[in-house]
């Protein structure tokens, strides 16, 4: 049942991660605001190298099953510093 609860869409989150991952936009969309800020700062400090983390996270979101995405981002609010590659708290 994709889109239930908080109404976040997996395709939108994944594409934001792939295209704008270095800016942390996918984290802001999903509700992990501090993770987005950390990713944004890390990208600027490392002259863009840390943007690879955002790209990888975007790919992880896109290959995640719909049920896992729903349980993680629609049925609960992720922690402020919860990155995609971390286990939910």
3-state secondary structure of 74: helix
- Report yes or no: 5 and 74 within 8 Å, Cβ to Cβ: yes
CA distance 16 to 25: 6
- Report yes or no: 51 and 22 within 8 Å, Cβ to Cβ: yes
CA distance 43 to 70: 28
pLDDT at 5: 84
pLDDT averaged over every residue in the chain: 93
pLDDT at 18: 97
**Tens-digit pLDDT profile for residues 21-36:** 999 999 999 999 999 9
pLDDT mean values, one per 10 residues, the chain (89 residues): 76 98 96 96 94 96 97 93 88
């Amino acid at each position: 049942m994709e889109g239930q609860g908080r109404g976040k869409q997996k395709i939108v989150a994944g594409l934001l991660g792939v295209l704008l991952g270095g800016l942390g936009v996918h984290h802001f969309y999903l509700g992990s605001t501090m993770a987005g800020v950390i990713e944004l700062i890390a990208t600027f400090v490392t002259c863009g190298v840390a943007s690879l983390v955002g790209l990888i996270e975007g790919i992880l979101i896109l290959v995640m099953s719909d049920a896992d995405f729903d349980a993680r981002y629609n049925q609960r609010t992720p922690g402020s510093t919860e990155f995609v590659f971390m286990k939910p708290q």
